Amino acid sequence: MRLIIMGPPGAGKGTQAEALAERIGAAHISTGDIFRANVKDQTELGRTAQRYMDAGEYVPDEVTNAMVKERISRVDADSFILDGYPRTVDQVETLDAMLVELQRPLDVVIALVVDAEELIGRLLKRAETSGRTDDTEEVIRHRQAVYSAETSPLLEIYSSRGLLREVDGMGDIDEIAQRIDDALALEH
């Protein structure tokens, strides 16, 4: 299965994507995780990405697209869950071209729907333990604004293609996982 998991910062994308990847045996491709690994290893990509991440801005499309292209072309990505990508209309177009070239069409896009104030609360809670430099209140609010402006229009694009499934992202982790499985019509 090939899918994208979308949702605003704090919607629980990372947690759900990781667990779902395990359940269905797909590669979990998280652009945020790849950037953070590069920051940790102090690679050139990491140095470029860090400035944007710390400010709550998106890393430029050409950098992100090249990174995803390299990852999604590998053999283990015949089944994949994209987590945190695409985030801009340009990234959607690039992804479309990559998947045509690889002959790996998308099956579905899951969008986690979570109430805005709940999101800020979750992220502030995560900030206490995550050690992420982009989990301060100011940066969190900025990341929500960037999401609304740049990424929420993608929901309409995937909806018009008939690929979008909205899933209630409120509640506990297992409950949400069950709703995702229901949306994907996975058996238990």
Count the Cβ atoms, other than its own, within 10 Å of residue 92.
17
**Residue whose beta carbon is closest to ligand AMP:** 32
Which H or E element spans position 102? helix 89-102
Nearest CB to ligand AMP, comparing residues 59 and 180: 59
Q: Is 71 a catalytic residue?
A: no
Eight-state DSSP code of residue 10? T
Residue 174 corresponds to which tokens in the numbers above?
């297992």
Q: Packing angle between helix 31-40 and helix 61-72, nearest 10 degrees?
A: 100
Nearest CB to ligand AMP, comparing residues 35 and 80: 35
Q: Which of 69, 104, 122, 126 is catalytic?
A: 126
Q: Is 125 a catalytic residue?
A: no
Q: Which of 2, 36, 71, 143 is catalytic?
A: 143
Nearest CB to ligand AMP, comparing residues 147 and 180: 147
Q: Which of 2, 13, 71, 179 is catalytic?
A: 13
Count the Cβ atoms, other than its own, within 10 Å of residue 72.
20
Minimum CB separation of residue 105 from ligand AMP in Å reads 20
Q: Is 122 a catalytic residue?
A: no
Residues that bind ligand AMP (CB under 6 A): 9, 31-32, 35, 52-53, 56-59, 64, 84-85, 87, 91, 134, 143
Eight-state DSSP code of residue 58? P
Give the total residue count for the chain.
188
The SS3 of residue 28 is strand
Q: Which of 69, 104, 132, 165 is catalytic?
A: 132
Minimum CB separation of residue 35 from ligand AMP in Å reads 5
Q: Is 69 a catalytic residue?
A: no
56 within 8 A of 140, measured Cβ to Cβ: yes
Hey, which residues are catalytic here? 13, 87, 126, 132, 143
